[in-house]
Amino acid sequence: MKENKQGSRLDKKLKTSLELSDTLSKAYHSQTKAYNLFLKRWGLSLPQYSILKQIQRHQRLSQKELAEHLLVSKGNITQLIGKLERAGWIAREQEWKTKYLTLTSSGTVLMNQIEPEQKQFLLQLYQDLTRKEQKMMIRLLQPLVD
């Protein structure tokens, strides 16, 4: 009898884990879709914006450091960096074997244009959640990111 109860508990935990995984996935895709629509007016995708934000935050960083901050491989961002460089928003400089990235003046202007509108976008995106609920979600999700 003990085995059945234990098996039943495992089945319930698995079912809940699957439901959590599905809900997190749907929430991520929904937020990504909304963010991409928001950024479209500046001709940016969310991955491109993430790169610009990291460069803005650190002022100057290597492609390797950027990949580490974004949790992707260096190869995955090379194409995106090229596109941002061709648009004139970032500059690449080579120091020996390391390539460093900085925002150009037009990249800084772009980020300054996006920032105030992004604040309104985020307030609207999470308007159905109270501040207390948002803080609770952050606390609950934090162990999944660490």
**Is 56 domain-assigned?**
yes
Mean per-residue pLDDT over the chain, rounded: 90
Please tell me the distance from the alpha carbon of residue 105 to that of residue 122, in angstroms, as a whole number: 25
What radius of gyration, in Å, describes the C-alpha atoms of the chain? 20
**DSSP letter assigned to residue 71:** T
CB neighbourhood size of 70 (10 A): 16
What digits encode the pLDDT tens for the residues 64-121? 889 888 878 777 788 889 899 999 999 999 888 888 999 999 999 999 999 999 999 9
Sign of the four-CA dihedral 87, 88, 89, 95:
positive
Q: What percent of the chain has pLDDT over 90?
A: 69
**Is 16 domain-assigned?**
no
Kindly report the pTM of this predicted structure: 0.81
Do residues 43 and 87 touch, judged by C-beta distance below 8 A?
yes
**Is 103 domain-assigned?**
yes
What's 84's domain CATH number? 1.10.10.10
**Is 44 domain-assigned?**
yes
Please tell me the distance from the alpha carbon of residue 34 to that of residue 24, in angstroms, as a whole number: 15
Please give the residue range of the domain that contains residue 93: 29-114
**What is the band of 39 on the pLDDT scale with cuts at 50, 70, 90?**
very high
Q: What percent of the chain has pLDDT over 70?
A: 95
**Is 67 domain-assigned?**
yes
Burial class (CB in 10 A: 0-12, 13-18, 19+), 51: buried
**Terminal Cα-to-Cα distance of the chain (whole angstroms):** 38
Over range 58-65, report the average pLDDT: 89
What pLDDT shows up at residue 78? 84
Say what angle helices 2-39 and 105-125 make with each other, to 10 degrees.
Answer: 130
pLDDT(56) > 80: yes
**Is 79 domain-assigned?**
yes
What pLDDT shows up at residue 109? 97
**Is 73 domain-assigned?**
yes
- Total tally of structural domains belonging to the chain: 1
